Amino acid sequence: MNNAKTRYLLSAILTTGLFWVSSAGAQESVVRIIQTNYAGSNAHVIDPATNTVVDIIEGVPKAHAAVNHPDGTYYYFANEHAHQVDVVDARTHRVVDAIPLIDRPNKLVVNVTHNKLYVGIRDQAFLQIIDLDTHEVIKSLPVHYGIHNVYVTKDDAYVIAGLGKTPDTMDEPTIQVIDATTDEIVFGIALDGHRVRPIAIESNPDGSPKRLFAQATRMNGFFVVDWDKRESVGFVSPPPLPVSQQNFDGIQDGVGHGLLVLPDQSALWYASRLDSRVYSWSLPDLEFAGGIEVGPSPQWLTATPDGRTLYVSMVGSMETAAVDTKTHEIVARIPVGFGPKRNSTHVLPIAAAR
């Protein structure tokens, strides 16, 4: 271990006694939830062990999403304001670098196997690919339309781009799939002419994709996409609520906005801004398991690595709600910043994390 890593380890041991150890006896790790604030210039760092904010990262304005380097040394924030990726030191929580982009970014994702950062460009039709060792853009891949959200399959074999424009025809792709080895598009998926919003991926035991669940504009529910067939095979909606119980304030065309398969693949969770609720379905049978009223305009979803706690960003109340996925109860409401939207889970080596 080099001197820098040794200092990180000693500092971490002295400053925190809260850490997570994997069942396989792997390196001691810290779990953190990052809640970005779209109407502010900071992000709140939540400790899921206590459901409290343990720090605030400043200087990350209009962040569309955050991911971390595989070795835990950096966080990467998609900065819509400056059209760049902000690089934040995971120990100091200070911005230490910026990676310029071709235009405004939306969601970004790390591919661990290929050591790359993939950034969806919203206003131009490109997927920009960044080498994690050099922080250099190594490719700008043209896509059909500008990208809203981008994901990576559990086996790191594919990158999935959800396109951010309503197709002109029914058979145009709403989703495009990129081979992560060649960084070339291998196929597209149409969703009956609908523009896609968040996507969640159900995986096979070997990590390969089995199904995609995709939210669409102006629809309260999600498409079910068979990966092998490369097409939608159904649409699932939560039980309808009376209009008197629904919220139409400020949801624009994002009726549903938040979708997550739990890490153990046991359930799918869905956030309905229209219903002010989060809903769940068991997997793989997609049996409805219930809903929880969380408050106005739930947005994005993330969960702890064990899948026991779900975190829901709440734009309407400027907080993050923690939900017990077994009891379906809200266990904490955590005050955060202005316009909390995208949130994410980060498992960092204790030697590298704050």
Q: C-alpha dihedral over 135, 139, 145, 150, to 10 degrees?
A: -50
Q: In sequence order, what DSSP letters do the residues of 142-194 get, joined into one string?
A: E-SS-EEEEEE-TTSSEEEEEESS--SSTTS-SEEEEETTTTEEEEEE--TTP
Q: What is the structure's pLDDT at 350?
A: 84
Q: What is the structure's pLDDT at 17?
A: 33
pTM of the model: 0.90
- Greater confidence, 352 or 59? 59
> Residue 184 corresponds to which tokens in the numbers above?
């070339």
- Measured CA to CA, the distance from residue 141 to residue 156 in angstroms comes to 18
- Write b or e for each residue in 143-157: b if 16 or more Cβ atoms lie within 10 A of its Cβ, otherwise e: bbbbbbbbbbbbebb
- Measured CA to CA, the distance from residue 120 to residue 128 in angstroms comes to 7
Backbone angles phi, psi at 244, to 5 degrees: -65, -20
- Measured CA to CA, the distance from residue 226 to residue 228 in angstroms comes to 6
Could you report the per-residue pLDDT of 186-213, keeping only the tens digit for each? 999 999 889 899 999 999 999 999 999 9
For residue 232, which of 204, 295, 264, 190 has the smallest C-alpha distance?
190
Percent helix, strand, coil in the chain, to 5, is: 5, 50, 45
Could you report the per-residue pLDDT of 77-103, keeping only the tens digit for each? 999 999 999 999 999 999 999 999 999
Per DSSP, 220 falls in state: S
**Which pLDDT band holds residue 306 (cuts at 50, 70, 90)?**
very high
Q: What is the structure's pLDDT at 252?
A: 61
Could you report the per-residue pLDDT of 239-267, keeping only the tens digit for each? 998 876 767 665 666 678 899 999 999 99
- Measured CA to CA, the distance from residue 91 to residue 333 in angstroms comes to 26
Return the minimum-mean-pLDDT range out of 32-36, 324-328, 335-339, 348-352.
Answer: 348-352
Domains assigned to the chain: 3-349 (2.130.10.10)
Phi-psi region of 83 (alpha: psi -120 to 50; beta: other; left: phi over 0): left
- Measured CA to CA, the distance from residue 200 to residue 198 in angstroms comes to 7
Q: CA dist 146 to 86, 150, 164, 198, 316, Å?
A: 21, 11, 5, 15, 28
> Residue 7 corresponds to which tokens in the numbers above?
């200092």
Q: What is the structure's pLDDT at 2?
A: 39
